[in-house]
Amino acid sequence: MIRRPAILALLLAALAPSAAAECPGADRLTEALRLVERSNPVLRAERATAAEQRRQRDWSAEVSVGYSITETLETGAAGPNARLNIRIPLFDRSAKLEQAKDAAALTASTDALRAALIADIQALCEQAHQVRALERRREFTQDRLSYRQERVDQGLDPAGSLWSEAEAMQTASHEAQRAAANLAAARLALAREYAGQQWQRLQTLLEAMTQ
């Protein structure tokens, strides 16, 4: 069985910077994982269930209180009487088994959530890479428009040649803005999904990881 630190190492390797999608802030991944483990609503509920299961007793007690108008067995006189029954199962391990199942389920849920978060962060890195590429394209088209403007001002090119350059720059600018807005929306959605009431903190980490 692979230990959890080894699993985390493998998952971290998946976010190593690559030519396809670099994540400059991937060093914040561990902090993001810890935040999600503490604040994720599903994990919090499972931890509460496991904690409650651990508090369950393996034995039960029952107290009976009454009043007899006849003689009691203990004193031989009429009066109040009480009885305490305690049941201690000698071979019933159902409570321990349930505790073990809850602990295993919590571990599995935590590992699955880690893997899902890392996969989603990798997807954010891909989006951020696309945003940077579109921004570079916008800058390139802006430089081309400036260059064409200079040639028109110098009388080397006709004024009509500016239209195609201006249109290309406008298109590139709109695409870059749309991609940046989609990336911001994806960060917000993931932060709310994973971190519950701590979503703003996770959103800040995701922004740092996918600038």
Span 95-139, pLDDT tens digits: 677 777 777 787 888 889 999 999 999 999 999 999 999 999 999
Report pLDDT for 13. 46
SS3 content of the chain, % helix, strand, coil (to 5): 70, 10, 20
- Residue 174 confidence (pLDDT) above 80: yes
Higher pLDDT, 163 or 73: 163
Instruction: List, in sequence order, every residue forming a beta bridge with 84; answer none if it has no partner.
Output: 63
The answer to whether residue 12 scores a pLDDT higher than 50 is: no
Report the percentage of the chain scoring pLDDT > 70. Answer: 66
Q: Does the reported pTM lie above 0.85?
A: no
The residue with greater pLDDT, 115 or 14, is 115
- Give the C-alpha separation, 142 to 176, whole Å: 13
| Residue 18 reports pLDDT greater than 50 | no
- Following DSSP, what letter does each residue of 15-59 receive, concatenated? TS--SS---TTGGGHHHHHHHHHHH-HHHHHHHHHHHHHHT--S-
More confident site: 104 or 166: 166
With 0-12 / 13-18 / 19 or more C-beta atoms within 10 angstroms meaning exposed / middle / buried, residue 29 is buried
Mean residue pLDDT of the chain comes to 77
Decide if pLDDT at 38 tops 70: yes
